[in-house]
A and B are shown apart, each in its own frame.
Chain A
Amino acid sequence: MTEATAGSLSPETVMRQMRKNGVTDIVWLPDSETNWLYLLMKSEPGLRLVGVTREGHACSIAAGLYAGGKRPMMLIQNTGMMESGDSIRGWLMGLNVPIVLMVGYRGYTRHGVNTDTAATYTERFLMAFGIPFYLVENDGDADRISIAFQEADRTKKPVVVLVGDEFHGFNR
């Protein structure tokens, strides 16, 4: 194991968290970091993947799945999350949908010097909407994903997990 991968968030870890929390459906739009996770999700029995063409669409699909008794999770990038503002407001917050959004934190750097405005506005966006969020950078942080599910269930609102794995994402 290289130094880089030792401190990473592995796709297997994310998959375990999905299983642990009873996720039935992943509503998602791929970003540049999710290839390996995609292959794992695709081979997971009982997990349905619903691909969308714009991130905001994922909100209403997830709301419908929840209304019908499923346990969806959204997997999108921060750029798409910001584009989805009105759908998050109306379809998730407005309908009291308890859901975890796993959001790729494009542009995140640990030292805090951003050169990508996608990162600059991500946490500001979440704070403006009053959406709680947890940062996950490596496998050691993975239990925060379960904490996010618990908070979503308790509050009946969306909770975000920011994936701040700046080095390699879920590609290998």
Chain B
Amino acid sequence: MMHIPDLLKVFAEHRGDSIVISGRGGRHWVQISETALDVPLGDPAMGGHSGFGLGLALAQPGRRVVLFDSEGDILMSMGQLATIAEQAPANFYHFILDNEVYATTGGQPVPNAKNVDYAMIARGAGYPRAHNYAELDDFARGLPAILAAPGPVFVACKVWPDIENTPIGQRVRWRKRGADKVVQDLRGALGA
């Protein structure tokens, strides 16, 4: 199992000029980078991050689009994998942070948490490449080759959960910009 901040720090070394949709890693990614090409949307509606990443990748084929999704989101919208595989954007890099639980609601397990092979599911949906990582050293060794090859690629990463149990109203808000402002800033940076 990896700690999300460690995993993101490894990725940051290879990020280049990628658009980064930080998804479930958002609270940690904003501590690493917060430019107009960083897209910390929070959670507009669960299950949709992969669709947003797909749309952005299709709209910007000249840029690498990296998404940090989660296993809970994938389980909620598994059909998105078939759509992504059909469109096959070569610039789309789809990571999931699999902590095996619904962390923001107190850490209840996702269904069949320890037995689902998300990389195999992605391959079955038509992703040409998919990987599993559970250890940081292995991830760090494999990442350059993953990012050097064309997408779409699916990378399932086992991570420790950041479980939250405080009432939502008492939680520290980590986002520095509203989601609509994030989109506005991104469009500005892309000249859209």
Contact B45 A91 (CB under 8 A): yes
Interface stretch, picked from A8-16, A65-73, A144-152, A159-167, is A65-73
Tell me whether B44 is interfacial, beta carbon within 8 Å. Answer: yes
Kindly count the residue-residue contacts between A and B in the assembled complex, taking CB atoms under 8 Å apart: 125
Residues of A within 8 A of B56 (CB): 64-65, 67-68
Determine, out of B6-14, B105-113, B144-152, B182-190, the stretch whose residues face the partner at the interface.
B182-190
The answer to whether A60 and B83 have CB atoms under 8 Å apart is no
Provide the main secondary structure of the chain B interface: helix
Complex interface: chain A residues within 8 A of B80 (CB): 52-53, 57
Q: Are B48 and A90 in contact (CB under 8 A)?
A: yes
Which residues on the B side are within 8 Å of A68 (C-beta)? 55-60, 190, 192
B residues near A, CB below 8 A?
39, 41, 43-45, 47-60, 77, 79-80, 82-83, 86-87, 179-180, 183-184, 186-187, 190-192
A interface residues, Cβ below 8 angstroms from B:
25, 27, 48, 50-54, 56-70, 72, 86-87, 89-91, 94-97
25 contacts between A and B (CB under 8 A): A50-B83, A50-B87, A52-B51, A52-B79, A56-B48, A56-B77, A57-B80, A59-B48, A60-B50, A60-B51, A61-B51, A63-B44, A63-B51, A67-B55, A68-B58, A68-B59, A68-B60, A87-B47, A87-B48, A91-B51, A94-B45, A94-B179, A95-B183, A96-B180, A97-B183
